[in-house]
Amino acid sequence: MFSVVTISRQIGSGGSRFAQALAARCGYQLVWREVINKAAIQIGSPDVALAMIDELGLLGLCPDPEVCQAYINAVSTVMNDYANQGKIIIVGRASQVVLKNNPQVFHIRVIADLETRVKNICKNKKVHSEAARQQINQSDTYRQDYLKKFYQVDWNDAALYDLVLNTAKIPMTQLVNMVSTLIKDNSGEKIE
């Protein structure tokens, strides 16, 4: 059994909904913005302000490199603390990189084709398709830049993940059922 799951997701892919459903199905705690808040507390920054900065992608600008590095270090500490608790799903925050060497962690990436993502954003956020495409472009660019700048990895590198799920191809309920079985039934055997 994997005691920790990380989920990286493309905006509009349904990855957040998948994470919530998987956590409920497995009885795991879902951790998301708590990582930001605890990291902010550790470095002595107001948690709400730091959460807003991160959500807007302004950490990529990093007006003070020392504060940004302290934040990155604090995120790592917080994630490792959560991972040590077990039975947890961590969404985003470069968790697939921070926890890459922990054998108890299973890394998932949730994707969908562009048209599916546009359709989902239009429906969920009540915006036109052009606005949805802009949100997708901004989000993808931010996530790619964040991982490249702070962790020197390519967000799109499939080797960062144990499993990549395409929500445009398989219904959400089937994905949750499949992955929950995989997580619970992991025997640890590897194919050579």
User: What are 11-38's pLDDT values in tens digits?
Assistant: 999 999 999 999 999 999 999 877 777 7
User: Tokens in use for 183?
Assistant: 């997580």
Share of the chain above pLDDT 70, in %: 85
Residue carrying the six token digits 């990582």:
35
How distant, in Å, are the alpha carbons of 51, 57, 114, 131, 168 from that of 119?
A: 27, 23, 9, 11, 11
Q: Output 187 or 72, whichever has higher pLDDT.
A: 72
| pLDDT of amino acid 93 | 87
Residue carrying the six token digits 């009885």:
27
* pLDDT (mean) for 142-155: 91
Q: Is 129 left (phi over 0), alpha (psi -120 to 50) or beta?
A: alpha
How distant, in Å, are the alpha carbons of 23, 41, 58, 66, 69 from that of 112?
A: 21, 35, 26, 36, 32
How distant, in Å, are the alpha carbons of 57, 63, 103, 141, 177 from that of 170?
A: 30, 42, 27, 26, 11
* pLDDT (mean) for 71-82: 88
| 4-183: CATH topology | Rossmann fold (3.40.50)
Say if residue 48's pLDDT is above 50: no
pLDDT tier, 114 (very low <50, low <70, confident <90, very high otherwise): very high
